Structure 1
Amino acid sequence: MDNILNTSWQHPREQVAMVISRIYRRGLTTTSGGNISVIDEQGDIWVTPSGIDKGSLTIDDIVCVKADGSIIGRHKPSSEFPFHKAIYEARPDVKAIIHAHPPALVSFSIVRQIPNTNIILQARKVCGPIGYADYRLPGSAALGDVIAGEFKKGFSAVIMENHGTVVGGSDLADAFLRFETLEFSARTILYASMVGTPNFLTNEQINDFDEHLVQLPVMEKAEHPSDERAIRHQICNIVRRACTQGLMTSSYGTVSVRWRGNDFLITPTDVPRWDLQASDVVQVKDGCAEPGKVPSRSALMHQKIYATHPHINSIIHTQSTYLMAFASSKANFNVRTIPESWIFLQDVHKIPFGQQFGESEAIIGQLSKSCPALLIENDCILVTGDKLLQTFDYLEVAEFSAKSLVLAASLGEMVPISDEQVEDLRKAFIKE
């Protein structure tokens, strides 16, 4: 399991080693591909080495290129170091850089396109406008010039023609958030294109989002008995598990668990999901949020769900790649693929974008024991259940089903389980 990425306390070499390992294990770069750097307060640049296995890098492998040009370390710095240096010189506000060859973004780079980040709600805000750097020889000064030129224009994420992508951030956590979100957007567009036609949000829909948010009142003081603290750790474990398995990204994902009565605990707003700690989780009691924290923007909806549906004790809503292919297109997500999928999920309905705000009756009214999951257009999959692990299992089953449908699209028309077979499943497994 990853350690927490707290850039305020970790040495740059620890940050770089951890994030390159995270990227490699998520399948977003290869053994030899990609590089990461951080520039510190002295102007020293800590960068991944050249020619060393990305799957087994340690902090001792990270190279320091001093401000005076001298090198400290047992390896050579990355062959792409020149463009890292050029970016830092062009943009003093950039303190960390990630370059890699994630498959979806490489797909865009080889057809000379930039992904439209309006495919999901938060991506335009996280990624900002995307630059485009014409092809130059890898490792060359010319490549550094064209990339730095894009950063000088104000871009913090750049598609590299026939190469990959490079992103910068105010620190490494910020850069990773941008990198992961941009690749997720690209994958969502690609998979949505395989099952239908991608549907993009308008700028107005995205800009209007904050106007619909309603903050909970704040309690004077929160108490944390042992059963409450146990739930915090359950939530953190599930969130990190979801991130590791590609079911959640740093920039999006909410988990809540009923505590006592209609009181519950929920993930916060604006804390990267990879880095969530138990102390970040927010208690909501008697309709009021724990002081000093900002609960998920969907806290009001979760509160209403718990009050309306006594059988629901945990909620997850997140963006997982294959499910978002259906949420971001008109394609029907038909879970009548294998018996387990229908038994757990039954028929998953799709809610129009914009109806997920506040105490959304469109969502709350749809949920039931026979309808534990909903897709919200261009936003998320929402899954409910009893125990948190059960809810997470439902999420996994839904994503596996969606993946099977996306992959099957290239083979031929789906042949679902018949109505008669579904009725047999209902009689054998569904308790009314």
Structure 2
Amino acid sequence: MNDILNTSLMHPREQVALVMTRIYRRGLTTTSGGNISVMDANGDIWISPSAVDKGSLQPSDIVCIRKDGTIEGLHKPSSEFPFHRAIYAIRPDIKAIIHAHPPALVSFSIARTIPDTNILSQARQVCGAIGYAEYELPGSEALGAKIASEFTRGYKAVIMENHGTVVGGDDLMDAFQRFETLEFSARTILYGKAVGTPAYLKDSDVDAFEAQLPEPLPEMKVAEYPSDEREKRSEICKIVHRACTQGLMFSSYGTISVRWRDNDFLITPTDVSRWDLKPEDIVQIRNGEREPGKMPSRTTYLHQEIYRKHPEINSIIITQSPYLMAFSVTGASFNVRTIPESWIFLQDVHTLDFGTQFAGRPEIPDLVSKNNPAVLIKNDCVIVTGNKLLQTFDYLEVAEFSAKSLVMCAPIGAMVPISNEQVEELRKAFLKG
């Protein structure tokens, strides 16, 4: 199934099958676990079936429960349908529901606690407050009542005691972004605990971040789309989709830009799911103006300043990847002197305080360079730069692999880095000139 489609134009059965496929491929549910539903404009509910392989789900497998209770489809509807029906009944603003057992959120579920989404700057905005539903028999009306009771309080995401999680949304893409972001927040906390003590943002920190974002760039009168510009759009989309598949980006977060000509560049938009990004969504920035009718990433100002100061930098990736964020939220030393490749590509990665990414601050543009291609921002992101986009993405992968190795090393013993003498040897052999 092609999972790079305009989901707003898809039939509900196609949406359910597509999102379930994404969730399964990302390892966020099992062959038999989880269920997804969408309520359409007629009040009919389209839901994933019971006892059908989630790894090969097709649109034809999706079951429809009509508003009058009539069931249509090749299979039985999910056994968890009662709580889907209960949520829709009490929350008319919710039009899509995802329930699954993603590993990190199950960890919180069985520890009977809730992940604090103030671990990352945008997670609170995407997830909102998180509810908690006490245990009841799966598939029972009692479970439906417990979950629905939490949704009456205004929550759109609920941890289910010893079970998993359920999230709702204005549509299925909204629900998927909330689900993916909540699981990512949970993983960040858990991985962070392996290397240090996670620190959380105050609400005032998140509000300050939102308040400092600059006004959108003015619109250009006419955009031009020569062949070299269109080629870069396709290149950006391919890397974004690869990053989503590999867990290096997710629906609600991740920005890529590529220098086009001089200090003009192309950048990913805001408020478009990264999974569904298309070349026509990319925003052209030319002479300090944005392409008409489009809203570029809210970090455009930072990309502008980096390109202006560094003619050797031609691409930038800003994202959140789970193991790098473990170091971002703890402030633990991200020592890339693990294997030769990591140090050669990244050299020493600095961690800057939350707030240094704010508009007008010079620290990041002053710090990144050919010899310092990556920087971590506490409780926010990793920024990676490079000469070509594929090289920049490679740097990101190397950084994430290095961070993963350090997290996995923590239970074994202290990391023993490459020595200063060995680093100097690498410098002379690989960084000449």
TM-score, shorter chain, exceeding 0.5? yes
Runs of 4+ in 1 over 6 A off after TM superposition: none
Instruction: Work out whether 1:41 is the aligned partner of 2:41.
Output: yes
Determine if contact 1:348/1:373 at 8 Å carries over to the other structure.
yes
In 2, the alpha carbon distance for the partners of 1:358 and 1:223 equals 28
The CA deviation at 1:368 is 1.6
Determine if contact 1:48/1:78 at 8 Å carries over to the other structure.
yes
Determine if contact 2:104/2:186 at 8 Å carries over to the other structure.
yes
Q: Identify the residue that residue 92 of structure 1 maps to in structure 2.
A: 92
Determine if contact 2:233/2:282 at 8 Å carries over to the other structure.
yes
RMSD: 1.0
CA deviation profile, 1:361-398 (whole Å, cap 9, x unmatched): 10011112110000011111100001100000000000
Instruction: Work out whether 1:279 is the aligned partner of 2:294.
Output: no
Q: Identify the residue that residue 186 of structure 1 maps to in structure 2.
A: 186
Determine if contact 1:5/1:173 at 8 Å carries over to the other structure.
no
CA deviation profile, 1:219-272 (whole Å, cap 9, x unmatched): 112111111111111111110100000000111111000000110000111111
Query: Which residues of 2 match residues 82-231 of structure 1 at below 5 A?
Result: 82-214=82-214, 215-231=216-232
Q: Identify the residue that residue 358 of structure 1 maps to in structure 2.
A: 359
Q: Identify the residue that residue 234 of structure 1 maps to in structure 2.
A: 235
In 2, the alpha carbon distance for the partners of 1:431 and 1:358 equals 35
Determine if contact 1:5/1:15 at 8 Å carries over to the other structure.
no
The CA deviation at 1:43 is 1.2
Instruction: Work out whether 1:258 is the aligned partner of 2:259.
Output: yes
Percentage identity across aligned positions? 69
User: For residue 108 of structure 2, what is the amino acid of its counterpart?
Assistant: F
User: For residue 71 of structure 2, what is the amino acid of its counterpart?
Assistant: I
In 1, the alpha carbon distance for the partners of 2:108 and 2:350 equals 31
In 1, the alpha carbon distance for the partners of 2:165 and 2:176 equals 12
- Residue 258 of structure 2 aligns to a residue whose secondary structure is strand
In 1, the alpha carbon distance for the partners of 2:205 and 2:292 equals 30
The CA deviation at 1:32 is 0.4
Determine if contact 2:200/2:329 at 8 Å carries over to the other structure.
yes
Structure-2-length-normalised TM-score: 0.98
Q: Identify the residue that residue 67 of structure 1 maps to in structure 2.
A: 67
The CA deviation at 1:293 is 1.0
CA deviation profile, 1:125-170 (whole Å, cap 9, x unmatched): 1111100000000000000000011111110000000000000001
The CA deviation at 1:431 is 2.8
CA deviation profile, 1:378-425 (whole Å, cap 9, x unmatched): 111100001100000000000000000001001111101111111110
Task: Give unmatched runs, 5+ long, in structure 2.
Answer: none
Instruction: Work out whether 1:408 is the aligned partner of 2:425.
Output: no
In 2, the alpha carbon distance for the partners of 1:129 and 1:27 equals 25
Q: Identify the residue that residue 302 of structure 1 maps to in structure 2.
A: 303
In 1, the alpha carbon distance for the partners of 2:250 and 2:184 equals 8
Determine if contact 1:38/1:45 at 8 Å carries over to the other structure.
yes
The CA deviation at 1:210 is 2.2
Instruction: Work out whether 1:268 is the aligned partner of 2:269.
Output: yes
Q: Identify the residue that residue 11 of structure 1 maps to in structure 2.
A: 11
Q: Identify the residue that residue 77 of structure 1 maps to in structure 2.
A: 77
Q: Identify the residue that residue 372 of structure 2 maps to in structure 1.
A: 371
User: For residue 37 of structure 1, what is the amino acid of its counterpart?
Assistant: S
The CA deviation at 1:2 is 4.4
The CA deviation at 1:209 is 1.4
Q: Identify the residue that residue 58 of structure 1 maps to in structure 2.
A: 58
The CA deviation at 1:5 is 4.8
The CA deviation at 1:213 is 1.1
User: For residue 65 of structure 1, what is the amino acid of its counterpart?
Assistant: I
The CA deviation at 1:8 is 2.8
The CA deviation at 1:42 is 1.2
In 1, the alpha carbon distance for the partners of 2:225 and 2:322 equals 35
Task: Give unmatched runs, 5+ long, in structure 1.
Answer: none
- Residue 375 of structure 1 aligns to a residue whose secondary structure is strand
In 1, the alpha carbon distance for the partners of 2:280 and 2:39 equals 29
User: For residue 353 of structure 1, what is the amino acid of its counterpart?
Assistant: F
User: For residue 330 of structure 2, what is the amino acid of its counterpart?
Assistant: S
User: For residue 224 of structure 2, what is the amino acid of its counterpart?
Assistant: E
In 2, the alpha carbon distance for the partners of 1:369 and 1:280 equals 29
The CA deviation at 1:100 is 0.1
In 2, the alpha carbon distance for the partners of 1:20 and 1:204 equals 36
Determine if contact 1:304/1:359 at 8 Å carries over to the other structure.
no
Q: Identify the residue that residue 323 of structure 1 maps to in structure 2.
A: 324
In 2, the alpha carbon distance for the partners of 1:322 and 1:363 equals 21
User: For residue 254 of structure 2, what is the amino acid of its counterpart?
Assistant: G
Determine if contact 2:376/2:382 at 8 Å carries over to the other structure.
yes
Q: Identify the residue that residue 343 of structure 2 maps to in structure 1.
A: 342
The CA deviation at 1:287 is 1.0
The CA deviation at 1:7 is 3.8
Determine if contact 2:331/2:378 at 8 Å carries over to the other structure.
no
Determine if contact 1:94/1:171 at 8 Å carries over to the other structure.
yes
- Compared CA separation, residues 15 and 394, structure 1 to 2 (3 A): same
Structure-1-length-normalised TM-score: 0.99
